Amino acid sequence: MAKEKVVVNGATLLCDKGATGTLVVLPTRKCSAGSQKTGVVSDTAWPATVSIAGTCSILSGPCAAVFPSNWSPGSTKGKCEGTALLKSGDTLACSVGGSVSVTNPGQTKVDVE
């Protein structure tokens, strides 16, 4: 399995329906990669942890993201507080019809499978 980067606070996100944003990891998280708190697959609350905004091509207006499930597939080996780490290749499905991906994981030194 190929290694990917651990996604951290401040990572850049992009929805394939037009909106952009950042991952916001709560400061209470106990795990870090470098000097930033690590993201986990359950970081899906909009706009608290998935701070994404802009025009949604499906809605023909502002993004109104709803994420019914976790980021997928998540790390098979790395965990933080019992939850799989978020990897640079993971995606997050939106119930409106879009898919959010990570365009910049926020750090380049820590890999994960």
pLDDT (tens digit per residue) in 12-58: 999 999 999 999 999 999 999 989 999 999 999 999 999 999 999 99
64: in domain: yes
Distances in Å between the Cα of 1 and the Cα atoms of 4, 73, 111, 113 are 9, 13, 12, 7
What percent of the chain is predicted at pLDDT more than 90? Answer: 95
C-alpha span between 32 and 6 (Å, rounded): 9
109: in domain: no
113: in domain: no
80: in domain: yes
The per-residue pLDDT for 2 is: 67
110: in domain: no
Distances in Å between the Cα of 30 and the Cα atoms of 25, 49, 82, 83, 89 are 11, 16, 11, 12, 23
81: in domain: yes
The total number of structural domains in the chain stands at 1
The per-residue pLDDT for 56 is: 95
The per-residue pLDDT for 3 is: 84
* Helix H or strand E segment including 111: strand 111-112
For residue 28, the enclosing domain spans 1-104
pLDDT (tens digit per residue) in 79-101: 999 999 999 999 999 999 999 99
Residues 6+ apart with CB under 8 A from 82: none
The per-residue pLDDT for 74 is: 97
Structure tokens at 31: 């795990």
93: in domain: yes
111: in domain: no
Over residues 71-75, mean pLDDT: 97
Q: Are strands 32-33 and 36-37 parallel, antiparallel or unpaired?
A: antiparallel
